[in-house]
A = this chain, B = another copy of it.
Amino acid sequence: MKSHLISISDIARNLGISASTVSRALKDSPSISARTKGRVMEMAQQSGYRPNILAMSLRKQSSKTIGLIIPEIAHHFFSSVISGIEELAYASGYRVMICQSNEDQSREELNLTALLDHRVDGVLVSVSKNTLGFDHFRKVLEQGVPLVFFDRISQELATDRVVTNDYEGARAITSHLIEKGRRNIVHLAAPRYLLVGRERLRGYDQALYENNIERQSDFVLQCDNREQVLALQDEILKLAPRIDAIFAVNDFTAIAAMQLLQANGYKVPADIAIAGFGDDPIASIVTPKLTTVEQKGYEMGKESVQLLIQRIENPDKEFQPRTRVFESTVKVRESG
């Protein structure tokens, strides 16, 4: 039993003036007399008037809403991105509609159409792990809706992008391990089709190359989460006697590997050093504390909205895709 909500025309009728005058008064338009504004404001206040955003958006053809598609809300990196996004979006008068793809392409497609159906003014996306084609994103662009990718980007599409310097981060942390005297370094990598994964692998390779270390053919395993570490534990343990370090594509994988090794009598970092990527809070909680690469999630979030809002608010400006690269910094802790 939705109690009647006051509308602009209710106020107009009660005050014996026109709806447009009320609308203008509420917007503090300069063309309305102080007296009228006062009467309108007061009545609005007293009656608990609240604008109907739906009607406003429909009329203005702009919803002041940004759509966000993210693989998993639960990851610390993504939640800090969300915080950054909300911060700047709110400050700029935009709302954010958050959707999770759960790393599933079809869910991502559904999210995307739902956002477009809601007439969001722009979309922010970090692509799901299992997304292979990009046609659904192409559709967004064709509709003239601005789109910015962050972290997990598409290379096929000419859009603005905000990324971490994964290559350099991986190169730096691998170099760090080498400086510490490690030479037999295993890399636990993400699937090949994930750009982020390829970049980190490239950084790892580069560090080896710069230090004249030949990469062993069996030293790169595709393994990027806890479950896979468990699934591959035999292989990892078979490698263990020959290696002195592991660099994993993310912190969860690094920690899972670390615990596997510890459970099997290896000392970290004495026998085998461990390094991760991402600087999840858990990295500072495990024993030993995890050496890892910090990613600037919050800042990346802010930058992404910034780029997006510029596109939204300057729709006619000639399009020149921009890429913002955030440097990542090695956090040396106890594990390596």
Q: A residues bordering B, Cβ < 8 Å?
A: 1-3, 5, 48, 50-55, 57-58, 61, 63, 72-74, 76, 79-80, 82-83, 86, 95, 97-98, 100, 113-114, 116-119, 139, 142-145, 255, 259, 262, 282, 285-287, 315-316
CB-nearest residue of chain B to A57: B54
Q: Which residues of B contact A97 (CB under 8 A)?
A: 95, 97
Is the beta-carbon distance between B282 and A54 smaller than 8 angstroms?
no
Q: How many copies does the complex hold?
A: 2
Interface contact B282-A5, CB-CB below 8 Å: no
Q: For the complex, what is the distance from the CA of A136 to the CA of B166, rounded to whole Å?
A: 45
A52 touches B119 (CB 8 A): yes
Partner of A54, one of B5, B58, B80, B285: B58
Among residues of B, the one whose C-beta sits closest to the C-beta of A262 is: B287
Which residue on B lies nearest to A51, using beta carbons? Answer: B117
Asked if A73 and B82 sit within 8 Å, CB to CB, the answer is: yes
Residue of B nearest to A65 (CB): B118
In angstroms, how far is the closest chain B Cβ from the Cβ of A137?
Answer: 15
CA distance A100 to B285 in the complex (A): 25
A72 to B, closest residue via Cβ:
B79
**Residue ID in chain B nearest A113 by CB atoms:** B50
Closest to A98 in B: B98
A218 to chain B minimum Cβ distance, whole angstroms, is: 27
CB < 8 Å: which of B3, B5, B74, B143 contacts A2? B143
